[in-house]
Amino acid sequence: MRKAFTILGSIFGVIVLVVVLCGVALWAVRRHNADKYTIMSTSAPLKDKSTYQTNDHVVPIEGEYLNGFHFIPERRQHPGTLVVFGGSEGSPNYEQAKALSEQGYEVLSLFFFGQPNQVPTLARVPLDQFDEVSEYIHANIERPTPITLIGSSKGAEFTAELAAHGYAFDNLVNYAPADHTYAGLDFSSRDEKPSFAYRGEDVPFASFRTVDGATSRAMIWDLMIGRPPRYRETYVQAAECADASTRIDLRNFKGNGLLFAGAEDAMWQSELAATGLSGSAPNLEAIVYPGAGHLFSEDIASFGTGWEIMFGGTAAGAATAYRESQAVLLDRLNRWHGVL
């Protein structure tokens, strides 16, 4: 009996040692990858409202749910309002709002989740928040219309859902759009949550639980070791297995729409979404840039090392897409809004 306990004790000791060694190895790999792939940590400060500069022309605003910044141009040149949203990183896309304000537009740069007066994560984000945005626009901006919404990535999904649910605005611009609504990005429990809610009810979504085991394991392993994951396969499979209720339907949107995407998007299939959505209504225009991935930027390397894995495309493709899409955007905004 004593010998059996000795053997069991030895086996237990070996198991503990293996677990400890595996933990140390995982820690070492994660630390190595944190240094190698800095993109995994660069988005965190973008959620912090206090890090953004404010002055007489960039005014912080906050309401019951409303939160962000009101950009007031030094010399306003166009009527109407631009409303800008970021993506899953939780930013208000401040730099884009700043650039557009410098073109003479009145711009709201808004968070749609993650602030103290908002839902904390990208799950059950209320579409109803746009009611308050609209009220703010009409109460605080002279010549407030037309209203153009500009969303990027999950912000594109959010603004497209606003259009699909009939909220009152005139023009829609999406960077890296989605043609489905997907599961929310809150992994605090086993329950899969929707990205959005409408009047208290969950908006139907394409589930990640339909994704095959190999794809899920590969993504989870990348996250465990701190390597930038490539999400595209997950989103493709989720969309393929989803029912029609999860599709974003813009057939009844009567405004103008402009949909930008990169042909080499590694985050999700935005180029397919852009062309698919544009085919659903004659007022929706899709432009897909070869060589570009999920983000357009003249300096995409500034997002951190490892961007190629997560976003896709090339630096040259991202820079070209940024310059060309910016020219198209300013042209369309000038047509839609006119000049004062």
For the segment 25-80, what is each residue's pLDDT rounded down to a tens digit?
Answer: 555 656 655 666 787 666 668 899 999 999 999 999 999 999 999 999 999 999 99
230, 199: one domain: yes
Task: Give residue 214's pLDDT.
Answer: 79
pLDDT band at 227 (very low <50, low <70, confident <90, very high): confident
Question: Is 44 inside any structural domain?
Answer: no
Q: What is the mean pLDDT of residues 154-172?
A: 97
Q: What is the mean pLDDT of residues 123-144?
A: 98
1, 81: one domain: no
Question: Is 293 inside any structural domain?
Answer: yes
Task: Give residue 337's pLDDT.
Answer: 98
The model's pLDDT over 292-318, given as tens digits with 9 standing for 90+, comes to 999 999 999 998 888 898 999 999 999
The enclosing H or E element of 201 equals strand 201-202
DSSP 197: E
Task: Give residue 232's pLDDT.
Answer: 94
Q: What is the spatial distance between Cα 246 and Cα 142, in angstroms, rounded to a whole number?
A: 37
Return the structure tokens found at 107.
């711009």
109, 3: one domain: no
Q: Say which CATH number the domain at 231 has.
A: 3.40.50.1820
Question: Is 248 inside any structural domain?
Answer: yes
Question: Is 46 inside any structural domain?
Answer: no
Task: Give residue 29's pLDDT.
Answer: 54
Task: Give residue 118's pLDDT.
Answer: 98
Q: What is the spatial distance between Cα 140 and Cα 134, in angstroms, rounded to a whole number?
A: 10
Task: Give residue 213's pLDDT.
Answer: 76
Sign of the CA dihedral with 325 first, then 107, 90, and 151 last: negative
Residue 24 has pLDDT above 70, yes or no: no
Structural domain harbouring 122: 51-337
Task: Give residue 45's pLDDT.
Answer: 81
The model's pLDDT over 198-223, given as tens digits with 9 standing for 90+, comes to 999 999 999 999 988 778 777 666 76
32, 155: one domain: no
Task: Give residue 248's pLDDT.
Answer: 98
Total domain count for the chain? 2
Task: Give residue 39's pLDDT.
Answer: 75
Q: What is the mean pLDDT of residues 87-104?
A: 96
pLDDT band at 188 (very low <50, low <70, confident <90, very high): confident
Q: Give one word for 128, left, alpha or beta, with left for phi > 0 and alpha for psi -120 to 50.
A: alpha
Task: Give residue 189's pLDDT.
Answer: 84
68, 147: one domain: yes
Average pLDDT of the chain to the nearest whole number: 90
Please tell me the pTM assigned to this model.
Answer: 0.90
pLDDT band at 335 (very low <50, low <70, confident <90, very high): very high
Question: Is 42 inside any structural domain?
Answer: no
26, 148: one domain: no
32, 111: one domain: no
Question: Is 43 inside any structural domain?
Answer: no
